[in-house]
Amino acid sequence: MINLYSAQIESLSIHRIGNKSRNEGAFLSKERYHLNDEITPLIKEFFFKPFRDKEENYYQFVHEADLEFHSLSNLVASVFNDPRQSHEISVEIAKLLYEQSSHPHIKPGEVYVAHIENVMMDNEKMDAIGIFKSELKQDFLQFQEGESNLQMHLEQGVNLSKLDKGCLIFNKNSENGYKILSIDSNRYDTKYWLENFLGVDILADENFYTKKYLKFCQDFAKDVVLPAEDKKEEVMFMNRAVNHFAKNDEFVEQNFMNEVMENPALIPEFNNYKTEKAPKYKIEDLTTFPISNTAVSGARKRIKSVIELDTNVQIKLDFVNPESAEKFVEKGWDEERQMYYYLVYFNKEQKS
């Protein structure tokens, strides 16, 4: 989990690159940009907000031969080793991005390279390198006082509420290609940013595996448990699954099966579902892995614990205390009405 609240931009270099296939060229600044108190908070929000709002899916630098041949990884390592070189290396990073800007749809834009300190990741303080690009310009009006009237001028500029492309490269796990977060708002060429420029692949760590396995469980609950049982059992299955992850540091599939599968008939169904679907979730051979608490917390927020009925009634189950649903909610069939019903036991109504 990252925390950018105390992060400080120690150096910032800004360049502009065009589309190489259209011979638009590049403008490379000769020195770093000197931030002031007025623009610093605005530019920090511009750079960091997309990563605060985005789910943390990490990448790492990869190379088909060896990481020592990965150009961007080597440039990044040089900045981490000697931040005094940050501007000179930012020029090389801008050139590298320009070389990849040949697709006809790629737009010209400003490239920002920042060396950032005091980033917190998993309660560890470290520095990071941010590479950002602004592409789309928006119209805005400027007004100037004339002798008797206000004069209106149409100009174009960067909207500070939307970053087009960006990545944060954390000074962690360098021997395996670092830990990297990336965003890309304009997906006109999906290979341009992630593959051609950054040269990254998914980082398969505990965060990745925890998310993928819980997503696999969620789909199993929807595709198998719900048709075989009912909505309550679907919700309760995911309740038990998430709670199992929450109280363990290490995932062991056999322990998971013993604790979560209350209906033994579902065990072969689960094994068959995994055999068929596992490649989609990249968990084919996954039977044990460290559990990410951050990923579990995120999954708990996303998974719905609500039974929605066709009579416009909703029953919300407590995801933290599943025994309440087991003890106080019963499902039945009313012969007279020819309808299902839920019977809910309680002592008194809670005040809202």
Burial class (CB in 10 A: 0-12, 13-18, 19+), 73: buried
Domain boundary assignment for the chain:
2-137+154-203, 207-344
Tokens found for residue 97: 């991005």
Q: Please report, in tens digits, the pLDDT of each residue of the chain (352 residues total).
A: 788 999 999 999 999 999 998 989 999 999 999 999 999 999 999 999 999 877 778 999 999 999 999 999 999 999 999 999 999 999 999 999 999 998 888 899 999 999 999 999 888 999 999 999 999 889 989 999 988 899 999 988 899 988 999 999 999 999 999 999 999 987 777 789 999 999 999 998 898 999 999 999 999 999 999 888 888 888 888 888 998 999 999 999 999 999 998 888 889 999 999 999 988 888 888 899 999 988 888 888 777 777 788 888 887 776 566 566 667 887 888 888 888 888 888 888 877 6
- Three-state DSSP class for residue 317: coil
Q: Is 296 helix (H, G, I), strand (E, B) or coil?
A: helix
Q: Which residues have C-beta within 8 Å of that of residue 37, sequence separation ≥ 6?
A: none
The residue behind tokens 């990297």 is: 180
Whole-angstrom distance, CA of residue 83 vs CA of residue 254: 48
| pLDDT in the model for residue 132 | 97
Distance, in Å, from the CA atom of 252 to the CA atom of 225, rounded to the nearest integer, reads: 21
* pTM for the model: 0.79
Ranges assigned E (strand) in 146-290: 150-158, 165-170, 179-184, 200-202, 250-252, 288-290
156 — alpha (psi -120 to 50), left (phi > 0) or beta? beta
